[in-house]
Amino acid sequence: MSNTHNADEICPIIEKHYLGKNVKVWFATSVVKVLKTSQSRSGLVLALFEEVEKIPAEYIPYGVCHFKEMIFLYRSLWVQKEGQLLIEVELPDEVKKIGEVEMPLDALEEVEEEQSISIQ
């Protein structure tokens, strides 16, 4: 990383990536601390791009992306005028487990992959 005004601390950064479209990503400090190199972050950018492409919207106010066994939060905006996708990504401060759904094992064995499971 280059020296900045705050060279002793890791700061948020913005990087440009080219995935068929111009993608500009703002990485929060929490992400930069975990993914220290541009190369390691480019894998996350690809995962984020694939998530964003699944949602037919120009603006995604809140999204979740799983990458390297971590959960990342993101927001994205497609700027038509500039032909650019903007993504802001960060790590959550904490994750809380709020409950569990228990099912008998024999019920799971009967369910096929494409079949939906209803919980009552």
Query: Are 41 and 35 spatial neighbours (Cβ–Cβ below 8 Å)?
Result: yes
pLDDT for 72: 93
pLDDT for 49: 86
For 35-51, the DSSP string reads S-SHHHHHHHHHHHHHH
Please identify every stretch of the chain with a pLDDT value under 50, giving residue numbers as ranges. Answer: 1-7, 120
* CB neighbour list of residue 12: distance below 8 Å, 6 or more residues apart: 26, 27, 28, 29, 32
The residue among 53, 52, 39, 30 whose CA lies nearest residue 13 is 30
Q: The sheet that has 84-90: what strands, in order across it?
A: 13-18, 22-27, 84-90, 70-79, 59-67
CA 26 to chain CA centroid, nearest Å: 12
pLDDT for 38: 83
The residue among 24, 26, 41 whose CA lies nearest residue 83 is 24
Q: How many CB atoms lie within 10 A of CB 43?
A: 12
pLDDT for 9: 61
For 69-104, the DSSP string reads TEEEEEEEEEETTTTEEEEEEE--S-----------
pTM of the model: 0.65
pLDDT for 4: 45
